[in-house]
A and B are shown apart, each in its own frame.
Chain A
Amino acid sequence: MQKRIYPHTTTRTENQRYFNRERRFLFGVGVYLDYAATTPVDPRVLKRMMPYFSKKFGNTMSLHSFGQEAKADLEESREEVANFIGAKLEEIIFTGSATESNNLALKGIALARRSSSGGGRHIVISQIEHPCIMESAKWLESQGFEITRMAVDKFGRINPEDINKAIKKETILVSIIHASNEIGTIQPIVEIGKICKEKGVYFHTDSSQSLGKIPIDVNLMNIDLLTASSHKMYGPKGAGLLYIRKGTKIEPILHGGGQESGLRSSTVNVAAILGFAEACRISKKEIKKEAERLQKLRDKLIRGILTRVPNSHLNGHPKMRLPNNANFWFEFIEGESIIIQLDLLGVAGSTGSACSSIKLEPSHVLLAIGLKHEQAHGSLRLSLGKWTTEKEINYVLKVLPGIIKNLRKISPFKA
């Protein structure tokens, strides 16, 4: 039974009817299980955004009332978002995306420390970061910085002790993804944060996948910088944030009009940021119940697939994983063809197979947890969200075994 409460409904049946209507409107008859790629905008978020495309169009930098109204609303949003992660108002910088936030975090810290006297040139990341961290680090490497890429265990977890050993005198930043976008594994952020604090190294975490799904408090977790994304948590695309602890030395990468305390010049996308803030406000209320609900569905899905499909395996940690993430690999077949078969039956998922990547390379995350090329080749990620129902999970459990069987019939590796 759907637990989400619509404030204007009075009975459970009425509540369910609203939920179903919303679901049908957003997905038709399709079963969307790719919430880790992106989510639809929550209708309540959309409602809050609408005026900012018309009547409240002002530029936050303008002195007149149009501009000042937008500015006041922007600051209100900042407070809501700050509240959500236990930060102070002035520690939140809004950006255009999580990619931008991660670029700003890595390059901004690196440039700030380089220009100061005696600055270090060493940065620690993991082998399972999102491409925007991997590529930023690679670019910094080409600029003379030294990058250490931490290995993970077979579940995708980093041993905090390894971080402790990797930090040296020249280390300026440790950046570790909070929860993997592919396999959902949650990192021991608290311990890593503590180590960084003791050693006096900035600690950045990319929480694009985890914010809104598991609770985050930047102080309890000893986080100095945190990236988050609006469109992964039922906000609009085009808004991201970077939390920067007060006193952190960082340089901007976009120079211009000096918006966002001079760290991110660009006319502020008020509508998207308000949507982001509204999504945070809703999430703050619903996160606990929703996480419990999704976790139940996720476990049903994982158990169901592992028992119904022979030669299938779970990727990532069985327990320390996002409540909405399930990732498998199937022997003898390729993932892109699974996705297209699922799509034909109305189910949307994703894969780390080389065939689905524009570089024709298998997912670096799956390789980092020790999967061979052929194993990553048969991977499937299903990610659940707000509108996922038990009925949908049952449907996937019904159709997926047949798809796998048919593809194996075509494969030379299994009769």
Chain B
Amino acid sequence: MDLYSKEVMKHFRKPQNVGKIKNADGIGKVGNLRCGDIMYLYIKVAKDKKGKEIINDIKFETYGCTVAIANTSLLTTMVKGKTIEEAMKIKKDDLVKKFGGVPFIKIHCSLLAVDALAEAIYDYFKKIGRPISKELEERHEAAEKIGEELKKHHGGLFKVEEELHKEYEK
């Protein structure tokens, strides 16, 4: 008997789209204050034939449990090639449903993944100077607040990460 569903394990065993994107158009960094998990999402945006913006490439990095890793992997496969509008419509329940359910205590991991995507899109909008909806702004503010708190918790890790990131962008 396994703790998690087959779908969760599929993504955990072989996570899709792991890594960073160089010169990403948007980066979403979120964390959960209670459990301490952290997710990074990188997106590259392009225009499709109809001229609509799509998520051309997406990659993730997750510091967290089985379900956190599986969620980010699943989300990247769901939004890759989709328009930003479509991607924004994905809710945490859609992820949980695709997994065929997760233990109650792990539902926050799905929310975290969805938040990471929202943050990446926010970052993209901000970069190109597009007006940001009130909802997205609020979500960003909440995520930022948590980020500040997390830095107190995980101070050592963020220092390492910043240095690594600098190396990478060179």
Contacts and interface: CB of A to CB of B under 8 A. Distances in A.
- Chains A and B come from one and the same complex: yes
A409 interface: yes
Contacts of A354: 34-36
A409 B59 CA distance: 13
A410 B62 contact: yes
Contacts of B160: 332, 413-414
Contacts of B36: 334, 354-355, 362, 373-374, 377
Interface string A381-415: 00000000000000000000000000001111111
Interface in B140-170: 153-157, 160-161, 164, 167-168
Contacts of B63: 332-334, 411-413
With a 10 A CB-CB cut-off, give which of B63, B66, B161, B167 has the most chain A CB atoms: B63
B34 A360 contact: yes
Contacts of B65: 334, 336-337, 340, 353, 355-356
B69 interface: yes
B35 A374 contact: no
A180 B155 CA distance: 28
B62 A373 contact: no
B135 to A, nearest CB: 26
Contacts, number: 82
B146 to A, nearest CB: 14
A410 B61 contact: yes
Contacts of B3: 340
A377 B29 CA distance: 19
Given A355-B65, A360-B34, A360-B105, A412 B156 contact: no
A29 interface: no
Given A360-B34, A362-B36, A373 B64 contact: no
Q: Which of A334, A362, A415 has the most CB of B within 10 A?
A: A334
A395 to B, nearest CB: 19
Nearest to A311: B160
Contact of B153 (A344, A355, A373): A373
A300 B12 CA distance: 30
Contacts of A1: none
B157 A332 contact: yes
Nearest to A407: B69
B112 to A, nearest CB: 12
Nearest to A358: B105
B38 interface: yes
A356 B18 CA distance: 23
A372 interface: yes
A187 B33 CA distance: 33
Interface string B15-50: 100100000000001000011111110000000000
A361 B35 CA distance: 6
Among A344, A355, A358, A374, chain B packs the most CB atoms within 10 A around the CB of A355
Contacts of B98: none
Contacts of A358: 105
Nearest to B29: A412
B12 A412 contact: no
A355 B37 contact: yes
Contact of A411 (B13, B29, B61, B105): B61
A340 B35 contact: no
Nearest to A353: B65
B125 interface: no
A336 B168 CA distance: 28
Contacts of A377: 36
B15 A410 contact: yes
A413 B164 contact: yes
A355 B112 CA distance: 14
A344 B35 CA distance: 23
Interface of A: 332-334, 336-337, 340, 344, 353-356, 358, 360-362, 372-374, 377, 409-415
20 contacts: A332-B157, A333-B63, A334-B37, A334-B65, A340-B3, A354-B34, A355-B37, A355-B65, A360-B34, A361-B34, A372-B153, A373-B36, A374-B153, A374-B154, A410-B18, A411-B63, A413-B157, A413-B160, A415-B164, A415-B167
Given A354-B36, A412-B62, 8 more contacts: A344-B9, A354-B34, A355-B64, A374-B154, A412-B61, A413-B157, A414-B160, A414-B164
